[in-house]
Structure 1
């Protein structure tokens, strides 16, 4: 490419700035730190949030729920905002 004067197109470095450690909102404690790893399915579920960039420049937020023993993803929510309800399981997982 260099001999022909061609250069790869490379987007500018992107640094996502979404963490605000001084937000003043409550944070859930990690109750699994001192616990043994679960060996049976459906005993311990965990969740995590992922930021999804949209084509129009906005963000969507996905919270996925995973069984710790089987590592199976049980379901997820996607919302345009990140309220507490995003990471709250419905009363019945079978709704998914």
Structure 2
């Protein structure tokens, strides 16, 4: 994609392939152009896995293993009345229920 031009304040685009892309924007205000540029990295689609798969009928405690491709460094969890929290980890990570 070399260029997209819109006369609008709304812009949307979905990248089809992973890679590094440079975004350029020029905004015209009262006859003067203001430009900015930013390079972004689009990652391959996320594949997440939680093991064991399926229905687990065993009583607690239960060990779960969470992994993702590409490797993620954050995990968002919610359990019962507990609020969501973020934990830093290196994929895969094991979680043990109480």
Same fold (TM over 0.5): no
Relative to its length, the structure with more helix (as a share) is: 1
Relative to its length, the structure with more strand (as a share) is: 2
Name which one, 1 or 2, has greater alpha-carbon Rg. 2
Question: Normalising by structure 1, what TM-score?
Answer: 0.32
Question: Normalising by structure 2, what TM-score?
Answer: 0.32
